[in-house]
């Protein structure tokens, strides 16, 4: 059985990984106060003491707009900490799995982005996440970098929960319609991570499988159409919402100014991970339906 260190267990992906990774080995998932990612010494000490076989970094600074005025902290968590994890993984001979983002791209491409497309992040969050990717790749450790997009789940704050709350409070929602992406369920990401690691282990950690992979739900949508689908699905479980659904108005990006610039196109092509590991996530609508059913079951 492998010894697995999970960093960021309380995030959306980390919360799901705590369950899926138990199938792979002994899981160590420190609380934030036990591993402070802004403290390089803390990171090095924990890895050298634990000597894990697999390191999963599900931690990130994800407050995209706040990062514009908090670049130092965003960089510490998204760039410096992954670099240290990678350095230590190289020394220990450990495998590192790290999650990155669609926001490394500028969104100007009309079709789906591949792993070979040149990144050009337009905000601090995307720049720090790209720096983290680059540090891991430069370290020489065995790694999987999984770029994903528009993550949501049953745990933590996200767009789905925000739309459901506002739909009950307001008669009209104004949602951006000129940004495209693939909403991706954290549970799907966690299960796919397990699949990739099991497959890689069966192939004796073949270094040819190291590298960068895109991993998102199938299909594409806009934030507006995503919100429409959230409310449509929720009306099956919520009688008040079924009786009085809000009007969901489509607006342009310039009508909803934010501190951080978002890419107009965030769609990622996921053929590479399918070819390497046989992984293909469900269509975004199917996973969203499962997530909303779980939210209401737990309410």
Instruction: List residues bridging with 58 in a β-sheet.
Output: none
Alpha-carbon gap, residue 158 to 121, rounded angstroms:
22
88 to 94, 203, 221, 255: CA distances (angstroms): 8, 23, 39, 46
Catalytic pick from 99, 103, 113, 125?
A: 125
The three-state secondary structure class of 87 is helix
DSSP H or E segment with residue 54: strand 54-57
Residues in the chain: 299
DSSP H or E segment with residue 181: strand 180-181
Known catalytic membership, residue 226: no
Eight-class DSSP state of 68: G
254 to 57, 182, 257, 258: CA distances (angstroms): 34, 21, 6, 9
Residues with a catalytic annotation lie at: 125
């Amino acid at each position: 059985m492998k010894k697995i260190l999970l960093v960021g267990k309380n995030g959306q992906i980390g919360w799901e990984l705590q369950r899926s990774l138990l199938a792979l080995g002994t899981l160590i998932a420190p609380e934030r106060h036990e591993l402070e990612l802004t403290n390089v010494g803390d990171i090095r000490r924990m890895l050298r003491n634990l000597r894990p076989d697999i390191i999963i970094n599900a931690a990130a600074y994800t407050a995209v707009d706040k990062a514009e005025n908090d670049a130092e902290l965003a960089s510490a968590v998204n760039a410096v900490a992954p670099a240290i994890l990678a350095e230590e993984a190289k020394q220990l001979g450990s495998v590192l799995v790290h999650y990155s983002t669609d926001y490394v791209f500028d969104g100007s491409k009309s079709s789906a982005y591949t792993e070979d497309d040149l990144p050009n992040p337009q905000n601090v969050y995307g720049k720090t996440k790209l720096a983290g990717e680059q540090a891991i790749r430069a370290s020489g450790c065995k790694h999987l970098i999984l770029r994903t997009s528009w993550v949501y789940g049953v745990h933590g704050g996200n767009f789905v929960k925000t739309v459901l709350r506002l739909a009950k409070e307001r008669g009209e929602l104004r949602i951006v319609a000129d940004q495209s992406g693939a909403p991706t369920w954290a549970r799907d990401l966690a299960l796919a991570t397990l699949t990739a690691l099991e497959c890689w282990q069966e192939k004796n950690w073949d270094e040819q499988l190291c590298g960068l992979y895109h991993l998102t739900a199938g299909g594409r949508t806009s934030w507006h159409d995503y919100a429409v689908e959230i409310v449509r699905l929720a009306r099956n479980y919520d009688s008040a919402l079924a009786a009085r659904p809000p009007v969901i108005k489509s607006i342009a990006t310039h009508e909803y100014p934010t501190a951080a610039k978002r890419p107009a196109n965030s769609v990622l092509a996921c053929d590479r991970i399918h070819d390497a590991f046989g992984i293909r996530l469900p269509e975004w609508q199917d996973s969203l339906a499962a997530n909303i059913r779980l939210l209401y079951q737990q309410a």
